[in-house]
Structure 1
């Protein structure tokens, strides 16, 4: 961190130093990994604008099924209605820039979002709308 930057400055050096290995072992945080493996299991998951991606999500493991809303309540088969105008799936996959979507800034705004990428202030479309709408981003 700062100590290493000051040491480089004092030596008249300027180079990249990776400090990450000092704090993290190659195998990672094994205690956290064991806890995650105990509590969760990998599952197929539906992603808005993209569809189901095999083994891309987590659900609570059998041991914690009593705490699983999908197991306790009739919510497992709820489907969201996607707007046919929304191209957020293509934006999420990097196939389309937000301002290349015909609905961007017209039917689809932060006040009237059509998809996941405009709903969240952190979404790509919302960020383009807020910060890059008037700038032509290549």
Structure 2
């Protein structure tokens, strides 16, 4: 089994001035193609609510739906770093809520990283997630 792209690899790529490519995938086939093309990063975005599930927005996307879609993307890849989006409501309850939900995406889904959106108001949450590893 090959080594997945790690955060340290991404930092080194940035320091060398390399362009870092990231695409979105929601299922096995797209993720497999990205892996074969050598894409270092895949985002499993909560936009799957619109694109795959037919919701009018990303708001209805649940943690269960995110975990469900992260799993096949991880199974399709060996080297690609998989980033899982934290859907609305999964981190707004504070750092402990965010940590519990991030752990699901990492443990159950198999993602290597999580992504959440926000500004200064989520800084403490990001700090807590970073400290937890």
TM-score interval w.r.t. the shorter chain? Answer: under 0.3
Greater gyration radius: 1
More helix by share: 2
What TM-score, normalized by structure 2, do the two folds share?
A: 0.24
Task: Kindly indicate whether structure 1 or structure 2 has the higher relative contact order, using CA contacts under 8 Å at least 6 residues apart.
Answer: 2
